[in-house]
């Protein structure tokens, strides 16, 4: 079946030969137009001396893709590994070049921002449940260390935007209804309108899903929007906000391999008995003001966040009330002979954490009560010097983070209050050369990642307070690459090769006493080598395709790291495949559009000792829609239907690394269906 699926993918993408004689669309300005802001100094594709991916999701693809998780809008980006766990209580596991591989829930090691507001907190952890994938219009990804731009957890930088590329001044309302297998139902609504010279966008959704596994029900209501306010000819102001209410998010847990193959819809009985899951209320707001001052631009940003998490787990009943906020300031000057930027960031995270015994899903005796606060400050500077076709870039960032824990456990006897201080310098340097139709570049960059508050409080001795032994993970890397286009063929390409060194690795492990609870230790080093390639071919108005390939060779690089007394030096880093291929092909014969997307992954290890593997898999999905049905000029109706996992492949889409008791595997569903209709009024 795998061979047939791969062959089918290759044959599908070769269909472009049938349409090669059609008049090609011009894309000669794509590289000129590509401007990224993830580096804190607006970069053009011809100057950026690092690997990045910029993806603008077409309107047709966005409204016809059910997109229940972030795996849909992030599909096909080389170097980015998104594990769709089909478990909303844990969220997708996202890693960039192996950074973030250890996350048991949420995202770690990668800085993530939504509409100018950071989802990555000062302690380095990001929670993605706030993001509705259906409304993502654009993504930017720096595929290597980005700490010189953003600080903690900068193994990469992922910037998500719900803003349309060209906000409409004319009023528009769109609603979409989607239903499908496993009790899937979702309603989306969005509107754009203008008042004078101001532009407004509002959106919201209602999401229900029983889930294909036992004990995997999910419900969520999400609302968001942004306002672009005209404040004069030399300034602009953007206000953003987003809110999530999720009253149900069951956690089915992971399975042993045999059960994942024979009973993929099963759940961990202990998770069911303890009613493991989470209930979340989460909201955030932000303001971004830009003003021309002298020869440059002054940028002031501020944001605030509130999160209330009620989280019954197999080992405890946890509640965390979080407030966070921060400011970012920067001043940049862009001239033809010299560009530079400087800035200062400051943020605060405050978590009121309480743990109870989980008594069959109810709260038992209080076992932990503490206030955890993280204060982060950072200052950065960047310069870029263009000399003819050459461009030199240099950057440096200094960060200081202060973690404080105040024991609030009544009559505990022992006061576990304490604090930890971490600091880092993160330099970068790069050079690029513009050949006209291509750009070559070479880069050195560095970064660091502190333990998160959750990792610091999860102590193997099962006591309160912060683990005094954990230190930040530090890394630095070298990369080189080539990106460009062939105008006559309608072809764009992006190639990158890199090596990254990671020291003081933060390594998860589990114990019999801790059950499904992850503990952490600094354990040696890893070496990350890799190759990334992406090709986009816009053959004509009928056919286009994007193909991506990622080659990973990540391994432990320190003989001092042992498992059961045996060194694991040379073993592969678990959770990441060596080879991964993905592709998307669109065939448009108006008004009908057929979209095929697929992924092929090699097998990969699930534990440090490399004693067990998650098997290789290949999956193909198909989507068909009617994209140009307009009964009236003011009304557009777009029905769509999608088949996922066409060949009913039995596979595990994610794993729990180093899970206790061999319960590594998180199964994916077999063949299933989704369909719906989008209706737009102008």
Residue 288 token pair = 């971004």
The answer for residues whose C-beta is within 8 angstroms of residue 86's C-beta and 6 or more apart is 69, 211, 212, 213, 216, 653, 666, 667, 668, 669
Closest CA to 670 of 651, 642, 656: 651
Question: What is the Cα–Cα distance from 146 to 151, expressed in whole angstroms?
Answer: 7
Contact between 512 and 498 under an 8 Å Cβ cutoff? The reply is: no
DSSP per-residue letters across 218-235: EEEEEEEEEEEEE--TTE
Residue 344 token pair = 């200062």
pTM of the model: 0.91
What single DSSP character describes residue 269?
H
Question: What is the Cα–Cα distance from 624 to 125, expressed in whole angstroms?
Answer: 37
Segment-wise mean pLDDT, segments of 10 residues, the chain, 682 residues: 44 42 36 59 78 90 91 91 90 91 83 93 91 94 92 93 75 95 96 90 95 95 94 91 96 94 94 93 96 90 96 90 96 87 95 93 90 95 92 95 88 77 94 93 94 79 73 93 89 96 81 65 87 91 92 87 78 93 93 94 94 96 92 92 96 90 93 96 90
Contact between 542 and 589 under an 8 Å Cβ cutoff? The reply is: yes
Count structural domains, the chain: 1
Amino acid 32: pLDDT: 43
The answer for residues whose C-beta is within 8 angstroms of residue 371's C-beta and 6 or more apart is 350, 351, 352, 353, 405, 406, 408
Amino acid 461: pLDDT: 65
What single DSSP character describes residue 564?
T
Amino acid 512: pLDDT: 60
Which H helix or E strand runs over 454? helix 453-457
ω into 591 cis (within 30 of 0): yes
Helical H segments across 203-284, by residue range: 257-262, 269-273
Ramachandran assignment for 12, one of left (phi > 0), alpha (psi -120 to 50 degrees), beta (any other): alpha
Amino acid 301: pLDDT: 95
Amino acid 550: pLDDT: 97
CATH number at residue 81: 2.40.170.20
Amino acid 682: pLDDT: 87
Amino acid 28: pLDDT: 30
**Rounded to 10 degrees, what is the CA torsion of 193, 194, 200, 206?**
-10
Give me the phi and psi of 3, to 5 degrees please: -60, -40
Question: What is the Cα–Cα distance from 459 to 456, expressed in whole angstroms?
Answer: 7
Closest CA to 302 of 359, 351, 371, 348: 348
Surface-to-core class of residue 195, CB atoms within 10 Å of its CB (0-12 exposed, 13-18 middle, 19+ buried): exposed
What single DSSP character describes residue 597?
E
Angle, CA 585 vertex, CA 579 and CA 589 arms, to 5° = 170
Amino acid 560: pLDDT: 67
Contact between 263 and 269 under an 8 Å Cβ cutoff? The reply is: no
Question: What is the Cα–Cα distance from 608 to 611, expressed in whole angstroms?
Answer: 8
Structural domain including 14 reads 2-681
SS (H, E, C) 104-120: CCCEECCEEEECCEECE
For the chain, give percent helix, strand, coil, nearest 5. Answer: 10, 55, 35
- Per DSSP (E only), the strands in 418-465 are 418-434, 438-449
Question: What is the Cα–Cα distance from 629 to 654, expressed in whole angstroms?
Answer: 39
């Amino acid at each position: 079946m795998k061979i047939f699926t791969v062959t089918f993918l290759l044959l599908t993408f070769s269909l472009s030969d049938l349409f090669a004689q059609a008049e090609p669309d011009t894309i000669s300005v794509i590289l000129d137009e590509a401007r990224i802001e993830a580096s804190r100094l607006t970069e053009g594709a011809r100057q950026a001396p690092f690997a990045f991916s910029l993806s603008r999701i077409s309107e047709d693809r966005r409204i016809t893709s059910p997109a229940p998780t972030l795996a849909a809008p992030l599909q096909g980006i080389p170097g980015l590994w998104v594990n769709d766990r089909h478990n909303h209580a844990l969220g997708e596991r996202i890693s960039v070049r192996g950074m973030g591989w250890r996350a048991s829930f949420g995202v770690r090691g990668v800085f993530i921002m939504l509409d100018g507001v950071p989802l990555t907190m000062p302690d380095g952890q990001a929670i993605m449940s706030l993001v509705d994938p259906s409304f993502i219009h654009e993504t930017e990804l720096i595929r290597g260390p980005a700490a010189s731009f953003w600080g903690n957890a900068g193994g990469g930088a992922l910037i998500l935007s719900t803003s349309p590329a060209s906000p409409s001044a004319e009023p528009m309302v769109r609603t979409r209804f989607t239903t499908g297998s496993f009790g899937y139902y979702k309603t989306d609504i969005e509107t754009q309108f203008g008042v004078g010279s101001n532009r407004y966008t509002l959106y919201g959704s209602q999401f229900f899903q029983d889930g294909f596994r036992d004990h995997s029900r999910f419900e969520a209501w999400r609302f968001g929007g942004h306002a672009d306010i005209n404040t004069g000819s030399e300034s602009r102001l953007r206000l953003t906000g987003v809110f999530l209410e999720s009253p149900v998010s069951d956690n089915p847990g992971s399975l042993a391999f045999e059960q994942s193959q024979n009973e993929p819809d099963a759940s961990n009985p202990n998770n069911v008995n303890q009613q493991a899951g989470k209930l979340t209320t989460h909201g955030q707001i932000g303001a971004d003001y830009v003003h021309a001052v002298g020869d440059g631009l002054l940028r002031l940003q501020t944001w605030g966040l509130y999160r209330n998490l009620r989280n019954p787990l197999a080992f405890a009943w946890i509640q965390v009330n979080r407030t966070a906020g921060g400011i970012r300031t920067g001043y940049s000057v862009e001239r033809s002979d010299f560009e530079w930027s400087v800035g200062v960031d400051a943020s605060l995270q405050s978590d009121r954490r309480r743990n109870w015994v989980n008594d069959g899903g109810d709260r038992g005796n209080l076992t932990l009560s503490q206030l955890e606060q993280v204060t982060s400050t950072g200052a950065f500077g960047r310069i870029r010097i263009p000399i003819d076709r050459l461009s030199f870039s240099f950057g440096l960032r200094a960060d200081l983070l202060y973690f404080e824990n105040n024991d609030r456990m009544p009559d505990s006897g022992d006061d576990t209050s304490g604090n930890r201080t971490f600091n880092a310098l993160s330099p970068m340097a790069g050079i690029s050369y513009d050949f006209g139709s291509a750009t070559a570049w070479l880069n050195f960059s560095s970064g660091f990642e502190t333990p998160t508050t959750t990792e610091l409080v999860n102590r193997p001795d099962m006591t309160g307070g912060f683990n005094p032994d954990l230190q930040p993970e530090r890394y630095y890397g070298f990369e080189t690459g080539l990106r460009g286009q062939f105008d006559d063929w309608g072809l764009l390409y992006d190639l990158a090769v890199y090596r990254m060194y990671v020291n003081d690795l933060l390594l998860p492990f589990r114990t019999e006493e801790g059950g499904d609870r992850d503990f952490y230790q600094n354990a040696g080093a890893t070496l990350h080598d890799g190759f990334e390639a992406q090709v986009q071919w816009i053959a004509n108005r009928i056919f286009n395709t994007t193909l991506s390939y990622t080659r990973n060779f990540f391994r432990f690089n320190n003989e001092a790291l042992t498992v059961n007394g045996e060194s694991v030096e040379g073993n592969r880093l678990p959770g990441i495949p060596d080879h991964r291929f993905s592709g998307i092909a669109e065939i448009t014969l108006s008004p009908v559009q057929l979209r095929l997307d697929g992924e092929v992954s090699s097998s990969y290890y699930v534990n440090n000792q490399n004693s067990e593997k998650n098997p290789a898999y290949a999956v193909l999905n198909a989507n068909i829609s009617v994209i140009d049905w307009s009964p009236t000029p003011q009304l557009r109706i777009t029905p769509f239907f999608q088949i996922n996992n066409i060949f009913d492949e039995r596979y595990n889409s994610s794993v729990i690394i180093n899970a206790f008791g061999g319960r590594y595997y998180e199964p994916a569903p077999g063949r299933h269906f989704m369909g719906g209709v989008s209706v737009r009024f102008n």
